[in-house]
Chains A and B, each alone.
Chain A
C-alpha cells in the first residue's frame, strides 16, 4: 500500500472540487489592496472571507508600530522564550492582555492554534477529564489527541448534553475541564455561555473558552462572549488569537490561577517554537489600543452583519442560527457550494467555501466574514449578486414563482 493510498477518498473529493476550474484551497491573492479588496484572477475583488473583523490589517497606527519595531529590534527573535529569552515587548504585551481582561496572568503563543493545542492538551492530566463541544475547532480536537486525559464530546451548544456527561462521571476523582468557543467559526453562532457556566459550577468543572472569533466583536469592551454573558470571572481560562480582529498572528491564554505560569515550562507548543517577532508584537499592542479606543468599529461590524444576514435571509437563503461576524450560508451539497463559490468569484466577490469533513453535520457552506470597514453599498451589492446566482443554481425559488406565491 502506498503512502497516500489511504487518502484516496479525499483525493477524489478534491478532484471534484477542482473540476470547477478554480481550486478554492489554493486561491491566490495576486495583490492585497486593503482589508476589503484584493486582485484575484486579475480583477479587483471584494473580500468577505478574511476574519479581518475590524479591518486593522491596514490601520496606519498598527502598520507604523510594526515598522518602527523592525527598525528598532529586527525582523525576528530566532528562538523560543524559554531557551532564548523574552523581549521586553513580549512581557509588555502579556501584561496588557491580562489587564484587558482584568486577569492576573497571560501567556502569549506564536499562533492561536498553538495556544489551544498547548494549553488544552497540558491543562488536563492522566486522571482528568476534558469535555469538548462536538463542533470544536480542529486545534481543540488536535489537543485532545495529545492529552492524557479522558475526552468526552457533548452536543453542540447544548448545556443539558454537557450536564448529562458531567453527571455520568459521578464521584470519579480527577479535574473536569470544559472547552467552549465564544463564536463558532463555521456558522457564526455563540455558545449559551451563562447556562454552560451554571452547569460547570454545579459540577465543579473548570471552564476554558476560546474567544478567537469573538474578541473585539462581543461585549461592551470587546472582551468577547465571556464579557457579554457577564461571566468573565467564571471563565478560568480564556484563549484567543491575534490573527482575526487584531490583524496579525499569535495566540494567548489568560487566567487568574496563581500557578498559571507553570505552563511556561510544561506546554511544549510554547517551549519549543520561536516567539513572535517584534513587528507582530508591536502591531498587536497597537491594535489592542485601537480596539479599546474605537468601540464604533464594533458598532460598524454589527451593522454590516445585519445588512448581510438580514439581506440574505429576506431573499430566502438558509443561514446560521443567529447574527454573527461569520455568516454561514447553507447550500444543498458540495458541488453546488463549489459552483456557487466560483460564480461569486467570477462576479468579483471572495468568500470561503466550507465542505465536509471540515464542517459540522456534513453541511456544505459558503462562509462569509464581515469587516467593520465594509460599506453598506458593497454588502447590498453582494446580496444582489448572491440572489442572482442563487436563482441560477436553483437554490432560491424563481422570482415569478415566488411572486405568484407558488413555492
Chain B
C-alpha cells in the first residue's frame, strides 16, 4: 500500500490530472482541512500545507481523530486509524484523502 509520504506531489496541476477520479483538487481538500484547523491556530502563524498538525497547532489527538471523521464524510472516504497515525502535515492528510478517493 502506498503511504501518504510517497504521494507528495510537486506540481498541483499534474497531480490533478493524475488523480482526477471523483474530481477534487488538492487545493480544495487543503482549504477544507484548514477550515477545520483554524480554531486551533497558534499565534499569527498561518496554516499551510507544511503545518505539522499535532505540533504546530493547539489541537489534541482526540480532536484530530474527530476532525478526520468530519473530513471522511465530507470527501466520502474512510481513513484507517493506522494510516491516521502516519499523517503529520496538512499536505499528507490532503494527499491521503485524494489517494483514497482515487482508489475507491
Contact = CB atoms under 8 A, between A and B. Distances in A.
Interface of A: 134, 144, 150-155, 161, 164-165, 168-170, 356-357, 360-362
Closest 6 CB pairs of A and B: A151-B81, A150-B80, A152-B78, A168-B78, A165-B78, A357-B62
A164 B104 CA distance: 13
Contact of A154 (B60, B63, B69): B69
B20 interface: no
Given A168-B77, A170-B104, A362 B69 contact: no
Given A356-B62, A362-B60, A151 B69 contact: no
B82 interface: yes
A362 B63 CA distance: 8
Contacts of B63: 362
Interface string B62-96: 11011001001100111111100000000000000
A143 to B, nearest CB: 12
A54 to B, nearest CB: 32
A78 B60 CA distance: 42
B21 interface: no
B61 interface: yes
A168 B78 CA distance: 7
Given A165-B72, A362-B63, 13 more contacts: A134-B65, A134-B69, A144-B81, A150-B80, A152-B78, A152-B80, A155-B69, A164-B73, A168-B77, A168-B78, A168-B104, A357-B60, A357-B61
B70 to A, nearest CB: 9
Nearest to B63: A362
Given A168-B104, A170-B104, A151 B80 contact: yes
B67 to A, nearest CB: 12
A190 B51 CA distance: 38
B80 A361 contact: no
B56 to A, nearest CB: 15
A151 to B, nearest CB: 4
A136 to B, nearest CB: 11
Nearest to A158: B69
8 contacts: A144-B81, A151-B80, A153-B69, A161-B73, A165-B78, A168-B104, A357-B60, A362-B63
A356 B66 CA distance: 14
A161 B69 contact: yes
B81 A152 contact: yes
Contacts of A165: 72, 78
A125 to B, nearest CB: 15
Given A161-B73, A168-B77, A168-B78, A134 B66 contact: yes
Nearest to A358: B62
Nearest to A165: B78
Given A153-B69, A164-B73, A362 B104 contact: no
Nearest to B81: A151
A152 B80 CA distance: 5
A148 to B, nearest CB: 10
